[in-house]
Structure formats: structure tokens, C-alpha cells
Structure 1
Amino acid sequence: MASDSADIKAWLDTVTIDPAVRALRPDYRALVLAAEGLQPGPSDAASEKLLAAAERSARGWLADLPVEDHPHLAAWREAFRSFGAKPQRTRPSAEALLRRVEAGLPRVDRLTDIYNAVSVAHVVPLGGEDLDHYAGPARLVRATGDEPFVTTAEGEAVVEHCPPGEVVWRDDEGVTCRRWNWRQCTRTRLTLATTRAVFILDALGPLGDAELTAAGDALTEALVASSPGATVAARLVR
């Protein structure tokens, strides 16, 4: 668990991608951002402005292109199928958000709204988690089937175990996100008390490094604008 800016940068250096995942998708890269000094809170005018702009942008290209045919999302569907997931049932996170654009994106809280807006605007799977609730480094692995994943069902805590071979993010306590970027655990989720967070932007071949960096820059700018004085560090993990 990080305790200051130096530690956040040191923690970023411990993020890893297992060779078994690299073998599955050699084109995969993760842009990982760690931030401290964040000011959590309910959705506000600034987060609303970001979400509204992302919705307008997405509606523009969605009028001419089905969401599943976007090159980056098509690549993610292929990646999900490669480890046995069915993207029609468990969609990559960016696709799931984009399918909600017509009716309106969810308004959750200011930090979640910010990263959802960047995800939609840049068509990149993006998740945010509370860094204070992490146990050890984040690593992307193929599950053994023994790792616990804590979620909720009908308002009650439930512990699941992923099928062996599923691509998951995990830490020392268990799975933090199932199916690469499909569903996050409850233990590390962002809350109205989160002041330090990690954000993971997932990229496959159709999204170039320059585009991935642009998405990370947009996220950094929005976080600092919403939380003056916040510190953000980033690392591209291959």
C-alpha cells in the first residue's frame, strides 16, 4: 500500500503482465496511473460536462458504425473469446458503456464519472480502484481457479472463483477485476472516501501508443482539474 508520492511511483514499478497473458495477446499494453490527493464526492457540474461531451462524441460515430465494429472494440471481443469468455454476455467495459450512450451514461460519483467519460471519449477500457484497499502489486494473470473474487449478489457479499485460464487483474488478496476489464471486485472499488486511486487503461493493437497516451493525458487533466493539488504518476506496462 502506497503512502506518499514516492511510494506511488514505486508501486507503479511493481505492476506486471504475466507471460501467459502476453502469449495470448502480444499487442496488449496497460497504461497505469496512480493518483493521490483526490477529492471524492457526488457527481457535479464538472463531471457532468465531461460525460455530456463524451456522449455527444460517441453518438456522432455510433450513427454510422455499430459499436461492435469499432476496430478497438472488435479486437477486445476477439481477446475475450481467446480465453473462453462470450462478449455478447460479458462485454468489454468500454463496449458496455458505449451501449448505454443512447439512453445516457450512468452518473455515479465524480471520480467514476471522470474515468467513464474518458473511456467513452477515447474508446478504451478503463477502470479505477481505491489504492488504499490494494494488497501488494497489481498483476495481470491467467487465473488458476483458486483466487477469490469478492462481489455482491442481491445486496449480500459473495465470493466467486474464476474459471482456470480467465484473464484477471489480481493483488495479494485475490482478483480485483475479472475478465480483463469486465467486472471489478467490491474490496477495491472507488467510494466517496477515496483519495488515492489507481486507473488502468487497456489497449490492444488497433489503439496506438499515441492514442493511449492521449487518453491517459485526458484522464490526468480531468483528475487534476477536479482535485487541485492532486498528484498523478503514470507507467506504460508492456
Structure 2
Amino acid sequence: MTRVHDMGGRFGDGAIVPETENAPVFHEDWHARALALTLAAGGLGQWNIDISRHARECLPPIDYARFSYYEKWMAGLAGLLVDTGVVTRAELAEGIGQGESVLTDKRLKAENVAGVLASGGPADRPSDIPVAFKPADQVRTRKITGNRLVDGGHTRLPLYAAGAVGRIVRIHGTHILPDSSAHRLGDGAESLYAVAFAASELWANPEHPKDEVVLDLWQSYLEPA
């Protein structure tokens, strides 16, 4: 199926214009607040990063196409807050909570923010699945890039790399599989690889055919070439 957010390498979306070195981190004051609110809400422990990514991907295509970056974040967050029962739809619409939340003790306090951000969110996990590839091995990505566990579900295998042949550059260890984690199906941890693809393998008329694109891909996305 076509995924509205899967825009990498798609023709017709215009050139990417890099920002200058001195460009501000946030172009609007509310952008910083959107980031802060998203991190604070995530600290309540009701979802993980893969669930939050999938929430943005599930926005109606017309909204996804017209929303700015942080508008997508806020729309996805609003859906998560309601879907998980953190707030009701009425509370969200009115901007006023009704009574004290059972999650009050989990709120992220200002004095704890730096420590929480510094600790990060490690995604490496043990796995019983044997490592299938080693550096320099030739591999091919799946031709069908969709989530194999959930129809229309989240995946980190981009459409532009479907069926492409590359080589293993590095093994990152075993990490949570987003295809599973995004749907509360468990960690599903498996080996994660850095895979290099020639530009000529990914696109019909690359400007620089000898350039390489390196993607981090999970083992279940790959097969021997």
C-alpha cells in the first residue's frame, strides 16, 4: 500500500534546501513548546517512540500533506492522548482537565528534564534470533516493504529501497523491531545492520551514480542477494 509519509526519493516533491549553519533551532516559539509537550507526554509511559511515530503516519493524508513538521507532531500527540485515555476528547477540546489524573505522579518535572534527556532511550535488547549476516555480505531488501505483522502497520523499511541489493557495512547488535513495538506486540528484537546501497541501485537516473546511501535495516527486512 502507498504510505503518505514514505517520501524518500519520491519524484515531484521539490528539492531539499538545507538550512544555513546559523539558522535557528526553532522557527516559531510554539515549535519549542510542541517538542517539550511531546517529550513530557511521552514521559507518562503510555506509549513508546514507535507508537508515536505510527500515530503521525496515521494522520489523514490530506492533513499529513498540509501540516508542517510540528503540526504533525501535535496532531499525532492529540490522538495518542485520547486513544490511551490520558485525556478525554472533551478535555482536549476545552483545554481543561476534569479532576486529578492517575498519572499525576509520573509527570515530568522541570528539574528532571536534563537528566531524562541525558539518559536517552536505548533500544538495544537481547535476542534469541541468530545473526544472519556479516560485514561485506550482499543482501537484498524485501520487495514488499509493508509490515508483516500488522496490515498497514508501521515499518522502517522505506519504499525507495524495496528489492534493492546492498552490502552489510556494520552490525549494530540486536534492537527492538519497530514493526512489533509500534503495535504493542513486544520488543521482537533482532539484528540491526547498516546497509550501503549504490545510488544507481535505488534510482533510475541518479545525479551521482557512485554515491552510496546507508540505511539501518532490521534482519527481517533482508535476505541473501
> Structure 2 length as normaliser, TM-score?
0.24
Greater Cα radius of gyration, structure 1 or 2? 2
> Structure 1 length as normaliser, TM-score?
0.24
Structure with a larger share of its residues in strand: 1
Larger RCO of the pair (alpha carbons < 8 Å, separation 6+): 1
